[in-house]
Each structure stands twice: as C-alpha cells, then as structure tokens.
Amino acid sequence: MINPCKTYIAQFLAALALLGANPLSARADGEELCPAPAYLAGATVEGDTSNDEADNEQVPRINAEADNVVSENGVVSLEGNTTIGFKDRSLNAENAKYLPESGEVLIEGEVSFLSNGINLQSRDAKIDMDDNLFSAGESSYEIDLNGNRATGGASNMERNEKGEYIMKNGSYSTCPPGDKSWFIEAKEIHLFPDEGIGTAKNIRLNFKGVPLLAIPRFSFPISPKRKTGFLAPVIARRENTGLELHIPWYWNIRPNLDATFVPRLTSKRGAQLQSEFRYLDKQGTWQLDNEFINDKERGNERRVFTQLKHDGRFNSEWSSNILASRVSDGDYFKDLGDSVQVASITHLERRADLTFQRGPYQFISRLQTYQTVDDTIDDEDKPYKRLPQFLFNWEPDRDKYGIRANVDAELVYFDRDASITGSRLDLHPRLTVPIVRDAWFFKPTLAYRFTHYALNNQVETESSSVSRNLGTLSIDSGLYFDRSIDLKGSVQTLEPRLFYLRVPFEDQEGIPLFDSNEFDFNISQLFRENRFSGSDRVADANQVSLALTTRIVDGVDGSEDFRASIGQIFYSDDRRVTLESDTADTRDINTRDTSDVVGELAADLSNNWGVNGKLQWDPTDRNTVRGSMLVSYRPAPNKIVNFAHRIVNTGRNAETEQLDFSMIWPVKNNWVLAGRWNYSLDEDQSIETLLGLQYDSCCWAARFAARRFVTDDGMDHDTSVYLQLVLKGLAPVGQNYGALLETSILGYRDDYK
C-alpha cells in the first residue's frame, strides 16, 4: 500500500533539483509539441555609421528618432514615439532624455529595450547604450544565459558593469515568456553569467501553481559549468531493495578534482553510501568508485564494492590503462544492482596495461587477474591470471614490391589455483602479397607459428616442455561486377569471393587450454585462418570457402541501401584438432564435407523501414542453428518500432528462441508511449516487460515506467518503477528514464541528458 506522505516527499525531492543539477536544453523537436516564441538574440536596429577622417574607420553613431527633438544644456530630449539605435541595441519609449557625454538614456514610463541577449520590458529605466548596462523599475525580461533562455520579472532589475543581473522581488524560469508551468520567486536573485551560477534569497519554487519548496538561501547553475551542490534526487523501487531514495551531492574540489557522494536509502536493506572521485593529471584521468552498506537484510553484514579506472598518456608514444574491481560477496550485484546486466556479472576484471607505440611498432605489457563473483563456478572453470603478459606487433608499410609483412609475438605466464600453470611464448610472422585491381583482387599469405610452453603441475605422463611449429598458406581472392540500375547513378554489385586455407595437422592434446575457445560460426569465420581464439589451439585445415555478396549503392550520396551475403566452407579433410570439451555431436561436425551455410542481410528500405538478419543453417539436418531477424520502422528520432526474432539451436547449453518487440511513439496531446516485450518461446515466459509513458511540453516533462525482468538465475522476476520529472533548463528529478529506454529500445537516444 502506498504511503500517503509520498506525495509530499515527491514534491520536496523535486525542489532539491534546484540546488545543483546541470542545465538542460530543450528538445530538438520541442517546437512540434509546444511552439515556443523564437528567442530574440539581438536588436534589429543599428546606428548609422560615418567615415572618420582621422582613422578612416567606420564608427557607429547613435541613431535617434522622435516626434519632437530638443537639445538644451547638453541634454537631448526626445518626445513622442521615441526610437534610439546604437550598434546592436535598440530602445523604444514614449519619451526619453539622452546624455551624450555618458551615453545614458533616461526614461520615465514604459520602455522596450532590445540588445544582444536581452529583451527587456520595463518602467522608469536608465540605460547605458555605450556599455549595454541598465537599471529599471518594474520589469519583465528574456535573457540569454550561456545559450539557455531565462525569463521572468522583477520589481527592480539591473545589469551592472560586470555583466551580472540583479533582481529585487523577482522570478526566474527557463520556460518561454508567459508560460508559468514552473518558476522560482525570491526576494533577491543574482545571476553571474561568467561564473555560470545564480544565487537567490528567500526562494519559493512553484510547479503548476503548487508551491513545492521555500528556503532562505540557495545557489543554482545557469550553465553546464561544474558547481558544488546537490544534484537531482532519485526515487526508485526494486524487488530486492524496496523503496529507494538517492540524494547525490557534488563537490567541485579543484579544476582537476571532483567527487560525488550519493546516500542511497533503501527500505529493505538500509542506507548505502556511494562515492565517485575523479582526478585529472598530466598522465590522464583517474576514477575511484566505492559503495558501502551494512545490509540489515543480512544481519547488518558489511558489503562493499570498489572500482578503480585509469586512462592516460605520458606522451605521444606511451599510454596506460588500469581497471581494477573488487566486491565483498557473490550476491552483491544480484541484491543491490539495478539491472539484469549488472546482476548477471560472473567475473570482475583487474587489469593494468602499459602501451608503447612508435610507427609500425606496438608493445603492451599487462597484468591481468579476475575475481570470480559467481560462487557456483568450479575452480577449473575460472579464468587464468596473466602475471605478466607481453604483446608485440610489428606492421610496416608495404615495400616497393607491394609485399606486406607483420609479426605478432606474445610472452605470458598463466596462473590458477589447483591447475596446470606455466609460461607460453608465441611467435607469428606473416608475409602477404596483395594484388588489387579495379575488378579483382588476389592475396596469397604465408605464415609461420612457433609456440613453446614451460608447464608446472603437469601430469607425470606429459612433458613439462611442449613446442609447436606450424606453417599456414591462405589465398584470398575475389571479383567485382557492377551495373547501373537507375538514372541517378545507383549501382548493384556482385562480388564472388574464394578463400583457400591449408594448415597441416599437429597433435596438440598435450597442450593445456589456457585461453582458447571456438568462435561462433558466421560470415567472418569463412575467411579466418583459425577457428579457435587464443593460441593454445591451431586448427588443421584443407578447405575452400565460397561466398557471394551483392550490394546496392545509392548514386547520390554513396550510401549502401542493400547488402546480402551467403557462404559455405568445403572441406577436403576431416578436422582433427578439437577442444577437450568437444562432444560426439561436435566430432560429427568435424567429419562433414561442408560447413553450415551462413548468410547476412541488411537493407534500408523506402519509407524509413530497415531489415537486418543473420542465419546459420545446417544442410545435413535441415534446421536453423542460429538465426536473427530485426525489422525496424524509424520515421523520426522519437518514432521507433522494432520487431526481432532470435533462435539458438547449437545442441549445447545456450538453446533459446525469443521474440523481442520494442517501440516509442508519440500519441495525442504531447504524450509519448514506450514499451518493450522480450519473450522466451522455449521457456514460455517473459524475459523483460517494460511500459513507459511520457508527457512533454516546451517547459517540462513527466516520465513514468514500470519494468519487470528475470533475475540472473532465470527463476524469479524483479520489478522496478521509474518516475522522473524534468524541469527544462534545470534538471530531471527521479530515476534515469532515458537511460532505461536507451538500453531497451534499439535506436532511441534520450534528449534530456
């Protein structure tokens, strides 16, 4: 049952957004939803210029017009229908007095003043036309603050010599003039455009006529510049944590150092403190994230997650990268994570890289370990540590005869508890002679691979020193045919391709599997020299790959409107090199004369329709091994419909067949509907169901979503509710609705970041 006090809490949290969130720009297509009057960036009347004989330059002059003009004692009086123009400034009033020596204009009564970034309607004003300064009585204004519109009024208003705006008994909003959807009122408002902040005394926030907050003093940003203060709060609800309240606080410590602290209050598990420190030095960026909670659901157990990230460059040749994470227990992400992707994490990587790059040479030194988060994973299935790993690549430009050469080398030590460990040296030089012409290409390649292992904890019957020497011959060739298909120069191509691969067999059963696995079979695999990843297995091969591709290329902009490819491998010999985990089904595949047939399709159809598909088909059993098809309709950025079908039928553990429908679409009166339904046909259950609703106007937006998804064990479901209020020009308040849709709806990009 919902607590009645939640309404008050929501109002209070909405107001907190004013204390420090970054400004937001309006939607790019906002005019379609709620037409806003164009902002007047500058005056339309300029003063005349005349030639100054002294310096022969054009000098702007005051241009003044009135029904009656009188000059007396150094004061020019303008009476009736007065207009004054100077540079990009114009002034309109009934009567005015102009002081030529100071450049000031005195007005009693109503005045309209238009300048670069200022549109002012006031009474009883003094305006300095030379320096673009003014002080006025009762006023309404529209001003430009670092590219953002600000509107409101005041009983007294001025712009001083520093370019600052000071308002007494004023109001402030980023809505178009006359739109009172939300605004703040204060006894005094002081805007500092150069610093990107504003301050106010005795502030009241009003939204749709309802006062949400009253505090004696606060400051707020009026530009994207960083500023210490509270950020937009978040209200959330999740199955494992209950009702949540996040109150972020940002600390701008120094220009190169800042921090964000987020108290996360949960009804089920208690209070969690999240922190993020960011530091920028000559070597690059550093970021330290930490989360801590005494989980009352688990008897006040201390639970922690820490992560360090670094990406830096010492000079043009040396760079560094660090990623290190640690979590206190295996259920942390399941209990406290906010998405199915986070909850399904099984390993946390810890890696440090130092890279040297000069011309054709690249050298990487690496330390890499993992923390296994999933406690159900056996020791023999955990990834190996690399302590250390050295990678070298040399790839010079082709020589004068067109020959390309490159060398890949690796030296690495693998370590894992209760397992075979040891070092591996792998050298892989290659020579290619590419012959490329307009209508064909021919690329023969010779490669040699030497691999040596020095092993520990090897069984007594196996040697601790193992070497492998293999040579590889591959020939890649193809033809290009094309024909014109319309008057604008569009062409259709036909591109047959033949790839021959010869790798002799060598027994590799005595070599442990440190990092090798088998690639999924697809179009790219037809032209790969090894069907295994890593260096522990080199597949024997005597085979020919045949593929055919056709494209339609637009004759105006050169875009690819259509592409379709199909291919298959023809084997002359059985494949004898396998992984230790290969099953009888896999061995049957390795004795076939042909591979599965693979195909890909991508088409941009007329009327904003698009199709993408992939297929792996077994001609022996006449069934689909893997397949996916996506049909999308995208007439506008906020009009997207996607329908996808996926199937995996490999005979292994990853069997699945799914339907996936997602969409976002505007409906009547500024409402936008969003949704996703991901359904598993084999499990007969929904993997994810999402329904979102958004109201959008020129000035504000309200966004709501409910999401239900399976947890990492595939047995239970978690439910989350998202609620967000966007006061345009200030900040979104609530959970990140846009980020949710970006991960759920292919092609969607949020406007309110």
| pLDDT at residue number 538 | 96
Confidence band, pLDDT 50/70/90 cuts, at residue 22: very low
Confidence band, pLDDT 50/70/90 cuts, at residue 50: very low
| pLDDT at residue number 211 | 86
Q: What percent of the chain has pLDDT over 90?
A: 58
Per-residue pLDDT, averaged over 280-305, amounts to 95
Residue with tokens 């007439």: 635
**Summary mean pLDDT of the chain:** 86
Task: Please classify residue 300 by burial: count the beta carbons closer than 10 Å to its beta carbon, then call 0-12 exposed, 13-18 middle and 19+ buried.
Answer: exposed
179-193, 301-315, 703-717, range with greatest mean pLDDT: 301-315
Confidence band, pLDDT 50/70/90 cuts, at residue 653: low
- Rounded Cα distance between 744 and 688, Å, is 9
| pLDDT at residue number 208 | 87
| pLDDT at residue number 10 | 41
Two tokens, residue 104: 């000031």
Q: Does the pLDDT value for residue 676 go beyond 90?
A: yes
Least confident among 7-21, 311-325, 370-384, 678-692: 7-21
Least confident among 328-337, 431-440, 720-729: 720-729
**pLDDT of 714-733, one tens digit each?**
567 778 888 888 888 766 77
Least confident among 54-63, 358-367, 566-575, 592-601: 54-63
170-174, 366-370, 740-744, range with greatest mean pLDDT: 366-370
Q: Which residues contact 574 (CB under 8 A, 6 or more apart)?
A: 590, 591
Per-residue pLDDT, averaged over 320-329, amounts to 95
Query: Where do the structural domains in the chain lie, given as residue ranges?
Result: 232-345, 347-419, 605-753
Per-residue pLDDT, averaged over 11-20, amounts to 39
Q: Does the pLDDT value for residue 25 go beyond 50?
A: no
**Residues 713, 193: contact at Cβ < 8 Å?**
no
**Residues 157, 184: contact at Cβ < 8 Å?**
no
- Rounded Cα distance between 39 and 176, Å, is 9
pTM above 0.85, yes or no: no
DSSP 526: G
Q: Which residues contact 38 (CB under 8 A, 6 or more apart)?
A: none
Length of the chain: 753
**pLDDT of 336-380, one tens digit each?**
876 655 667 889 999 999 999 999 999 999 999 999 998 888 888
Residue 608 is which amino acid? N
